[in-house]
Structure 1
């Protein structure tokens, strides 16, 4: 069995289309799992949402999915508040009520078994599914895994790909499709095939996405930061 695992698409249709067209073609994997944040930040949330609703076998709710679904700007951190609020307003205006209902109804976590391996999927951390923020080498993963009744914990949120083994459990973050960070602007994802994980990344037409963002009329400081993240990671 071959499973493609993606996260944090953030309304970036160009990056998502390249993923499907030149990376993991639909006929080349058995299932697609989405670890949250389908929308916000990027210029085409409606198109991204419709593609993933059609193609994802499992999808869970990220903090941006929750915020857009409920029109809720109350939980943004100071560092990202201006950007998150401005893009949330754009995203909310783009989506229909039915699409927002879909985002509201996404589960916070899912547990499944494939090929004898038990997986738990959550956007951030088991203890804080929306906002828990742990990087690859953070000590806090051991405590998080104590509550996980699975062999593998799949997470997103930090936009940073990693695979980490702790005891008899594994934590995997596929990174971000739509807004890669940590100095690497290439989208990344994970493949699980017959018990083995692989992290992959690829190029996409960043300037096409930049041009779309620049037509949305965001405040200059918000636009500049969105463009910087796309170009520089």
Structure 2
């Protein structure tokens, strides 16, 4: 069995289309799992959401999915508040009531088993599914894994790809499709096949996405930051 695992698409249709066209070639994967944040930040949330509704075998709720679904800006951190609020308003205007209901009804966590391996999927951390923030810190994840009854914990949220073995459990973050960070603008994702994980990345037409962002009418400082992240990671 071969599973593609993606996260944090953030309304970036250009990056998602390249993933399906050049990476997830039809028939090359058995399942697609989405670890949250389908929408917000990017210019085309409606198109991204509809594609993933049709193509994903499993999808869970990220903090941006929750914020858009419930019109809730209450928990944004100061560093991202202006950008998150402005893009949430754009995303909310793009989606209809049925699409927002879909976001509201996404599960916070999913547990599944494939070929004898037990997986738990959550957007951020088990203790704080929306906003818990851990990179590859072994000590922090060791505490989180105490409550995890699975062999593998799959997470997103930080936009930082890693594979970390901690005791007899594995934590995997595939990184971000739509808004890569940490100085690397190439989208990344994870593949699980025959019990082995692999991180992959690829190029996409960044300037096409930039041109779309420039047409949205966000406040200048928000637009500049969104473009900087897309271009520089």
Structure 1 and Structure 2 fold alike (TM over 0.5): yes
Q: CA–CA distance in 1 between the matches of 2:145 and 2:74?
A: 29
Give CA deviations for 1:112-158 in whole Å, capped at 9, x if unaligned: 00010000000000000000000012521000001000000000000
Contact 2:138 2:166 in 1 (8 A): no
In the superposition, the TM-score normalised over structure 1's length comes to 0.99
Partner of 2:181: 181
Segments of structure 2 that go 5 or more residues without pairing to the other structure are none
Segments of structure 1 that go 5 or more residues without pairing to the other structure are none
Q: State the Cα distance separating 1:24 from its structure 2 match.
A: 1.6
Partner of 2:148: 148
Q: CA–CA distance in 2 between the matches of 1:55 and 1:136?
A: 29
Give CA deviations for 1:202-224 in whole Å, capped at 9, x if unaligned: 00000000000000000000000
Give CA deviations for 1:41-91 in whole Å, capped at 9, x if unaligned: 000000000000000000000000000000011110000000000000000
In the superposition, the TM-score normalised over structure 2's length comes to 0.99
- The SS at the match of 1:197 is strand
Runs (4+) off by over 2 Å:
none
Give CA deviations for 1:170-196 in whole Å, capped at 9, x if unaligned: 000000000000000000000000100
How many residue pairs match? The answer is 233
